[in-house]
A and B are shown apart, each in its own frame.
Chain A
């Protein structure tokens, strides 16, 4: 799966500009699905199977988009001012590099500060693409960029930009490759604009109108020196979400996932995330309401250009989800 993850994370796809990653995913899954569509928001919606007796309609969602930056002004001398796309924090930027959707690369620099120890605000930073004038700058106001940081394989641990949520995308692709048969009609939704407010999943969930919704996304960990207070670690298995900042998982879904993991002898962790949320919230709140939950991939340094996951957690997430959706679903 490492090759697949590498392929997914290295594509540029900030929120709103998911066309390139969508094409890559489409090529990977086209031969494994029964129907494939792109909707008005740019979501890639693929269906596998049909509802047979005892089956339900399940929506699995992983978002294609990544956080990034967006040009707001090109100065007379060619420097690009920018704003953020999604939850970017200033301390992750200085000295980092970006790659624009149009292929232009640049480095992020900062103004000289009055007090050297203080943190640059976004307004005090700029992108240097090597241009010397506004006229010759290949970046225009409104151009989007993602972070430019390659995939690295540290053995069990993998790090890259955009693990959030291309690792979830890779999980969905791998499920399609390995799943044999299911009584359920399963919609694989590769969603857009998650990082700016779950917007793609909101419209996709309305259109799919599922009986059950599961998102596959990353979650934080508490296993780094003097880190967050959080009972999730890298390498201890996929995390079954109990709640996050925007959703309380349907407790029946949590128990169903726990029973399945135990029956299959798969490691799992229970996740309580204090901030943030996932596409599962959009699925839960669509139309008249949908039972929803989330299988999370534990991830360190989320929303930095070097997010880290453990390959075993990814592989076990695939196994858990295949076990969950290949059988008739009983929420008890």
Chain B
């Protein structure tokens, strides 16, 4: 049964898209999230009751409730993105590099990149097909054989230890939002919007986390610090929903575009708290907000690090689906983001302590 929405739910407009664009174009590879952190701090400081940056670089925001003894609800979204780190200077603007986070190195040759905090442009070079031996194009080029080339003139502006990421500028094309690092800048932007429209029935604890892509490290300490009653990780998850090449039924799609926010039941890091799964799905049914269940399987989110902190924290994850995750570009849908924001907002507004009185 769908009831007409008595709730006022936040919308995504020009202002929200502009914020997402700034976040997507910022460079914040795990371990150096400062560029995104600055955008987040600008946005949250005027709205927060408390705001701090912890020892690992997480931004921790508290928005107090307008009721006595509220549920303390933590939301986590990670500021960091996958990318590269320069590890050795080979002179003339050529640098050896390593990957940071989960990247398929087969996709790297020929990709433009931005290096360092100043976004120095570079490119990951590849041997042209003209010069290859027979059969060479069928083989994977190992990471050791790849270089980031920033040109001799820029050699002094970057150095080993600098991070780099794909040089992909954000675009809105038709129904799609396309860019790099939408995993998890979509989550970051969602948390900022939730803070702007903070429901007064809960104490909202927002963690903009670091180092998720290298092992959920920021969320681990953020979960310990907040010690909330429950937690929701807001992230991005792959959609592999294209038809199978041989016409067979696609039974491993993970999620589908345009099917709404993906609620997690199980991944490698977490068996989601069934009470929270039911609450999220029930909220979607009640208010006519589309949602889907992510296919149980591998992967992990900040919920994995949060739910086992201290004496245990009921946790779940909700992701915006996107195609081509952990490549130079993620293709997501405006509507899936809007519905993610609205599902979370509606679910938080309708939370009461009774949610956790039933045993897990």
Which residue numbers of A lie inside 8 Å of B, CB to CB?
Answer: 15-17, 19, 22, 38-43, 70-73, 75-76, 81, 83, 85, 123, 141-142, 193, 196, 199-200, 202-204, 206-207
**Which residue in A22, A40, A204 is a CB contact (below 8 Å) of B313?**
A40
Residues of the A chain whose Cβ atoms lie less than 8 Å from the Cβ of B356: 40
Tell me the nearest residue of chain B to A16, going by C-beta: B271
A207–B311 touching, CB < 8 Å: yes
Residues of the A chain whose Cβ atoms lie less than 8 Å from the Cβ of B296: 70-72, 83, 141-142
Which residue numbers of B lie inside 8 Å of A, CB to CB?
Answer: 249, 251-252, 265-266, 271, 274, 277, 293, 295-297, 307-314, 356, 359-360
Taken together as a complex, chains A and B put the C-alpha atoms of A17 and B360 apart, in Å, by 8
**Which residue in A16, A76, A203, A207 is a CB contact (below 8 Å) of B266?**
A16
The smallest C-beta distance from A284 to any residue of chain B, in angstroms, reads 15
B contacts with A: majority SS: loop
> What 6 pairs across the A-B complex have the smallest Cβ distances?
A203-B312, A16-B271, A40-B312, A142-B265, A207-B311, A41-B312
B252–A72 touching, CB < 8 Å: yes
Taken together as a complex, chains A and B put the C-alpha atoms of A83 and B294 apart, in Å, by 13
Tell me the nearest residue of chain A to B281, going by C-beta: A142
Taken together as a complex, chains A and B put the C-alpha atoms of A16 and B360 apart, in Å, by 9
Taken together as a complex, chains A and B put the C-alpha atoms of A85 and B252 apart, in Å, by 17
The smallest C-beta distance from B130 to any residue of chain A, in angstroms, reads 39
Residues of the B chain whose Cβ atoms lie less than 8 Å from the Cβ of A42: 359-360
Taken together as a complex, chains A and B put the C-alpha atoms of A124 and B359 apart, in Å, by 36
A70–B249 touching, CB < 8 Å: no
B251–A41 touching, CB < 8 Å: no
Residues of the B chain whose Cβ atoms lie less than 8 Å from the Cβ of A203: 308-312
Taken together as a complex, chains A and B put the C-alpha atoms of A39 and B310 apart, in Å, by 12
B249–A199 touching, CB < 8 Å: no
Residues of the B chain whose Cβ atoms lie less than 8 Å from the Cβ of A142: 265-266, 277, 293, 296
Contacts A70-B296, A141-B295, A196-B271; is A75 near B251 (CB within 8 Å)? yes
Residues of the B chain whose Cβ atoms lie less than 8 Å from the Cβ of A41: 307-308, 312, 360
Residues of the A chain whose Cβ atoms lie less than 8 Å from the Cβ of B360: 19, 38, 40-42
Taken together as a complex, chains A and B put the C-alpha atoms of A15 and B293 apart, in Å, by 19
The smallest C-beta distance from B230 to any residue of chain A, in angstroms, reads 9
B307–A199 touching, CB < 8 Å: yes
Assuming A16-B266, A203-B311, A206-B310, what are 14 further A-B pairs, CB within 8 angstroms? A38-B360, A39-B311, A39-B312, A40-B360, A42-B360, A81-B251, A83-B296, A85-B266, A142-B265, A142-B266, A193-B271, A199-B308, A202-B308, A207-B311
